[in-house]
Amino acid sequence: MDKMPLVAVLLISIPEEIMISALGLMLFGIKPPIGKLVLIGVVQATISYFVRMLPIIFGVHTLLQGLLFTVVIWLVLRVPFRFVLAAMLVSISIYTVIDATFVPMLLDITGIPLEVILNNARLRILFFLPQGVTMLLVVLLVYFFDFRLINYKFL
């Protein structure tokens, strides 16, 4: 069970959800308006906040969040579910690689235990910055170079 402080939800979860959504959708040729991305980010961060507090086995909350994330995007954008699911699986995978690269490196460099970071809002936000900036750069590169894995418009 992870009780994330509200400031961390605002400064980590919402931007993280917006970037994951934007990246996955753009890789599939869908460029939603920023307002809808913000709506998706806020709704998903709220859902994520409550799912993390559920007394369930650690990995189950991740699967539940991924499924609910896909449902939220599907409901907001009215894009076929299978495309949203594929886009989110790709985007979440990319974000997981970024996360799995930075977190162990930062833990090793700083020597601060993960439990301490998770229980300190300021440290939690600081540890998010490198992966958040990296994800933002990936999103911007995909956006400006119009890179796509699949073009949804032609399917």
Structure tokens at 94: 């990319």
CA distance 110 to 81: 42
pLDDT at 154: 62
CA distance 128 to 6: 15
| Cβ-contact 116, 69 below 8 angstroms | no
When pLDDT is cut at 50, 70 and 90, the band that residue 23 belongs to is: very high
**Looking at the chain, how many residues does it have?**
155
Question: Domain residues of the chain, as ranges?
Answer: 6-148
Q: For the segment 86-113, what is each residue's pLDDT rounded down to a tens digit?
A: 999 999 999 999 999 999 999 999 999 9
- SS3 string of 14-77? HHHHHHHHHHHHHHCCCCCCHHHHHHHHHHHHHHHHHHHCCCCCHHHHHHHHHHHHHHHHHHHH
This prediction's pTM: 0.92
| Cβ-contact 32, 77 below 8 angstroms | yes
Q: For the segment 46-98, what is each residue's pLDDT rounded down to a tens digit?
A: 999 999 888 888 789 889 999 999 999 999 999 999 999 999 999 999 999 99
Q: DSSP assignment, residue 8?
A: H
CA distance 30 to 24: 9
